[in-house]
Each structure stands twice: as structure tokens, then as C-alpha cells.
Structure 1
Amino acid sequence: MFGLAPDIGIDLGTATVLVYVKGKGIVLKEPSVVAVNRDDNKVIAVGEEARRMLGRTPGNIIAVRPLREGVIADYDVTERMLRYFLEKCGCRRFVLRPRVMVCIPTGVTSVEERAVRQAAIQAGARQAFLIEEPMAAALGAGIDVSEASGSMVIDIGGGTTDIAVLSLGGIVCSTSTRIGGDKFDEAIVRYVRREFNLIIGERSAEELKIEIGTAYPANNSERAAAIRGRDLVSGLPRSVMVTSRQVWEAIQEPLEAIVAAVKGVLERTPPELAADIVDKGIVMTGGGSLLEGIDKLIARETGLPVYVAEDPVSCVALGTGRALGMLHVLARSRN
């Protein structure tokens, strides 16, 4: 019980934090939300309990998401959230603190990198390593990144979409666009406000996206769901029916941006690696890849086979854990 702590991998996501402990697998999956009392700056709740408070708190309590678009927006709250999650995983029982691998979006600045590493160490890590999200996602999806062959990964998270072509344990070309599940939710909120004169919260928009959202509407699969909110004109609560085609119309802009980013990476891919991708196809990971039909949309736009990983939400967390065992192979992992 007391001794060397196991290696830990953390998927520090904008929407969800997943923690992987070596030998145990994924032990924690909680929303990255913290409820803070404004009066004394004390943390009241973290994770799922805090998420239930979003948009429902009295004036002196604020429920915040300390990560925005894949990077730390509030350093102090992020550090306290990480400390809480590491304690929940039982890290305080060990004399020697754990080595931690944390994922970051591709293309973050050195200041943002330092903030993530420092937050992990302050929260209780002995050593903090960083790994780019598409690399972690590829490892978690079971792709052999060490071979001299091109693999392409699209990781659609809550705050960012990371797209990369990998070969020989490194990233050959990549892009990170600050569009993810949150932007889909914001687009639905705007659409419902514009079309129905109804104000809804982002949590309601997310539930609508999960229930009937689609990126590739089929002719015979029109579905509808009720959404409740506040009428813009009367100010009274009201409910309206929204169809899957209307949700599809609402999220056109972020979908087009993701497709454009995928095409941009393919255009920069060296010819030999492009040939490998034609054979292997593209692997999709992250919670955003669960949006119905998004794989079909990208397959239609690129002409390449597209596959969604077996457990897309857990891929990055699994990959961070596996990466600690192969630091010597990962050319782009940094201590």
C-alpha cells in the first residue's frame, strides 16, 4: 500500500477528465467542472456533482469549467481539480508520488505547456510528461505508431479537434482547430434562439445533440425531440419540438470547419504516407466522433475509408497511460 505509486495518464479534456492508472485501467471519468464559493474562494464540488449545478447556482456560488478550448483558462481552479481527482484515485496513500502523463492539443504555446505541467506537479505528480492528443488517441486506439507507415487520426474533443498524420513515433503533419463539441452546443443554442425565439442553456443543447443530432442526415431517419427554455418575447417557460434535420442545419458551420481542417492536413501529407492512409483509412476518436454520421460525412468529403475507434471517449486516456511505457519510442513526447 505504501511505496511506489503507479504511473497515471490523464486526459485533461475541456468537457471531461479521464484518469488511467497503470494496472487498473480507467478509474475515473468526471466532467471538468468545479463549483466555487465566491465569498471565501472555497471549492464546494468537483466533477459530476458540480456539473449538475451549471446554470442553477445562487449568486455566491459559481460553477466554472477551468479548461477552455483545450487549454487552461483558470490555473488555480485547474490545479485544485487535478489534486481532487488524483486524491480520489488513491495517490495520497503512496510515499513516492506518481509519474503523470497529461495530454495537450497540438500547436499549444510553450506558456500553455508549462501551465499544464506545473498544474500536474502542484497537484501531486512526481514527474509530469506531456503528449499531443492525436498521438495519445492513436496509442489508445491500438495503432502501432512506431512503424514506418502513415496513420491518420482525428480526435474531436469538447474544446478542440486535433488532426494528425503519424509515423515512426512522431507527428509528421497536424493541425488543431478550436472547434469541438462545445461549438456544436453553442451553434444549437444560437439556432434555437433565432428560429424559435427560445433561450436554452448549453447543457440542454448538448442533450439535444446527443439525442437527435446528426452530421449526415438520412432520408428515412427524421427524429424529433422536445426542448424547453425561456421565451424571448414573453419571458415565460416554453417547450418546442426540434427535428434532427434542424439540428443538422444548426451545426453546419462547425462541421464544415472540421472537414476543411481534415482536407488541409491531407494536402500537406507526404505522398508515401498519403498512400498508406488510402490503404488504412482514417481513425476517429473523442466524444465528438459519436455524433451520428460524422464518419460518413468525412468519408464522403475525403473519399477515404473512415472508422470510429472501439471506445472513442477513452482512447486518449488509455493512450496517455500506454505512452509512459514507451517514452523511448515517442520522438515528440517531452519531459
Structure 2
Amino acid sequence: MFNKDIGIDLGTANVLIYVKGKGIVLDEPSVVAIDSQSKKVLAVGHEAHRMVGRTPGNIVAIRPLRDGVIADFEITEAMLKHFLAQIGGKSLLTRPRVLICCPTNITSVEQKAIREAAERSGGAREVYLEEEPKIAAVGAGLDIFQPSGNMVVDIGGGTTGVAVLSMGDIVTSSSIKVAGDKFDLAIMKYIKDKYKMLIGERTAEEIKITIGTVSGGRQDEMDIRGRNMVSGLPQTITIASHEVQEALAESVSAIVQASKNVLERTPPELSADIIDKGVSVTGGGALLHGLDQLLADELRVPVLIAEDPMMCVAKGTGLMLEYLDKLPSRKKKLFG
């Protein structure tokens, strides 16, 4: 009997869904707008994201995933149900097998929450969980099934996963709750402390994307608007790339340290392979200006940004769906 297997990149910032035979069919922000009194879902995805920071008192824009795990089970279930209906409804999702990506160090309780959310929202026949760095490495084009070392740094919205892979599985890994969201918060705090001005998450993200850098070499400036903390009135200031670098220094340092820790625990033979092949960086954080150069300088190995890094995990789920029956972790995930 033919069933459409689907892969879900259940990210803190975005949800991407891959349908076997069709490719990536959905890419939407992980945001849900609800009526705080009736708890009714008003908008999901792009429509809800436009409401962030701009809603009246009775409407709340919620991000139900935090740090790569489910923070609000019911809202996550409603969000998944909406997205699965959006990509084809019941005709497509006749008891599919679902592969979902999760951070490497989540607890069994957090794993169970992800499984149940998928089962209840889409009626999944089987739910597989795989670690994000592993799926990202596959999506980046690395052949992780050979007896050879591959290293990936996957910088998402809520977590950064660092892993060394060989023979189809993770040899050493680390997952830290420092990624895109923390970058935005660091920029907000910097502007609050230096300029006594409040800005929202969307403005901070825009600054990061437009003029952000972590290793110098960028001399851009940007006008930003916010609310002055002293007068309470709207204010416009100009911020430069070097200030964003200063704001992000601590967060980026944590990612560099996590990468070093993984390399220090890697067997020598695999370390030699990584010197030859380099480190692949995936996820939205890979697009941060100068990050590859900074990592290369600190780790002393070549660092390469994956092609289309934001899509690596989603593409990886698609490739893994082709070999779902052959996955070495299949029994462990199904019966463990």
C-alpha cells in the first residue's frame, strides 16, 4: 500500500515539511496567534509572524517551540495540524510515516512530547526521531555512512548542534541553547544598554541579517526605530556593523567553545579526516557574516558554509526518507 512519507524540520524559528516525491512543500515561521480569552487559534505561520509585537491585549502571538523543544504542547499540536492540512489534508496524510528532527541532548520526556504532537496532529503511522546535526549533515551533501569523519555545526533558531559523524551515526556531539534567538536578544540588550532604547525581536533580527557580522570586515550602517526608555517617545538611531559584532561576541564565543569541546573528544583518526574535509556549517546562523572565517581561525581547520544552509535539515529529512527502512537507528528509535 502506497503511503506518502513526510519529514518535518520542527524548528524553533521555522517549520519546514518535506513530502516524499514532492520535495519541500512548506516553509513557515513557528508562530501561532491566539485569542488569550477564548484560546482560539487566529493565525498560524507567516500571518501570525506579522503580528509579533503588534497585537492588541486580547491577541497573543506565541512561539510554541523554545530552545528546540516543545514549550506549549497544545499550541504545537494545533500548529502542526494546521500545516499538515495546508499541504494536502487527509488525502495526502493517510497514516504516513513521519521523520522529525530534534536536538541531540533532549530528554526522553521531550522526545515523547514531540512524538505525541506528531501522532495527534497528523495521525502518523510511525514516528521516527533523528538528531538535527545528523540530518543537517546529510542535507549538506556529506556522506556520513562511510567509515570516515564528518563534522557539522548546525546553528538554528533555538539550539546549535555540533557533531562528528561516521558510519551513519554520531560519534561525539554537543548541543547548546545559543543560536539565532539568542543573537536577537543580545542585539536587543546591547541597544537597550548603550542607547537606552527598546526595540522588538523583529527589528533585532533585521539588524542581524542586514548589517550583522562576527569577525569584522563589514562597515555597514542601518537606521533603526524604537522607543526611548527615558522619554517614552519614538526614537531613531544609526547602528553600525562593528556594534553588532560587539553585541554578538559572547554568544558566538559559546558556539566556538562547543565546537572545540567536540573536536577535543573526537578520536584521532576522525580528527585527521576533518582536517582534510573541513567543517560544514548549516542552519540560518551559517548566513551570519564572517562566521565561517571566525570558526576557521579558532578551530584551525577549513570551514565551509553549506549550500542553502537554511534548507539543509529539510533536505536531509527528504534523503533520509528514501532510506528509512535501512537507518541503523531504526529499531532503537521505534522500540527504545
Shorter-chain TM band? over 0.9
TM-score normalised to structure 1 length: 0.97
Partner of 2:105: 107
Whole-Å separation in 1 of the counterparts to 2:261 and 2:127: 32
Give yes or no for contact 2:19–2:25 (8 Å, CA) kept in 1: yes
Whole-Å separation in 2 of the counterparts to 1:149 and 1:311: 24
- Identify if the C-alpha distance between structure 1 residues 123 and 95 changes in structure 2 by more than 3 Å, giving closer, same or farther: closer
Partner of 2:327: 330
Partner of 2:314: 317
Whole-Å separation in 2 of the counterparts to 1:202 and 1:256: 22
Amino acid at match of 1:288: G
Partner of 1:226: 223
Amino acid at match of 1:186: L
SS at match of 2:24: strand
Q: 1:40 deviation in Å?
A: 1.3
Amino acid at match of 1:255: V
TM-score normalised to structure 2 length: 0.96
Work out which of the residue numbers 54, 61, 64 in structure 1 matches 2:62.
Answer: 64
Partner of 1:88: 86
Q: 1:20 deviation in Å?
A: 0.6
Whole-Å separation in 2 of the counterparts to 1:123 and 1:288: 29
SS at match of 2:77: helix
Whole-Å separation in 2 of the counterparts to 1:115 and 1:322: 25
Partner of 1:272: 269
Give yes or no for contact 1:146–1:329 (8 Å, CA) kept in 2: no
Partner of 2:8: 10
Any residues of structure 2 matched to 1:257-296 within 5 Å, and which? 257-296=254-293
Work out which of the residue numbers 29, 38, 41 in structure 2 matches 1:40.
Answer: 38
Q: CA RMSD in A?
A: 1.1
Work out which of the residue numbers 299, 303, 325 in structure 1 matches 2:300.
Answer: 303
SS at match of 1:174: strand
Partner of 1:210: 209
Give yes or no for contact 1:171–1:332 (8 Å, CA) kept in 2: no
- Identify if the C-alpha distance between structure 1 residues 260 and 91 changes in structure 2 by more than 3 Å, giving closer, same or farther: same
Whole-Å separation in 2 of the counterparts to 1:215 and 1:332: 37
Q: 1:42 deviation in Å?
A: 0.8
Identity of aligned residues (%): 56
SS at match of 1:148: coil
Greater helix fraction, Structure 1 or Structure 2: 2
SS at match of 1:143: coil
Work out which of the residue numbers 240, 244, 250 in structure 2 matches 1:243.
Answer: 240
Whole-Å separation in 1 of the counterparts to 2:76 and 2:93: 24
The more displaced of 124-133 and 230-239 is 124-133
Amino acid at match of 1:103: C
Whole-Å separation in 1 of the counterparts to 2:24 and 2:308: 12
Whole-Å separation in 2 of the counterparts to 1:117 and 1:314: 22
Q: 1:91 deviation in Å?
A: 3.7
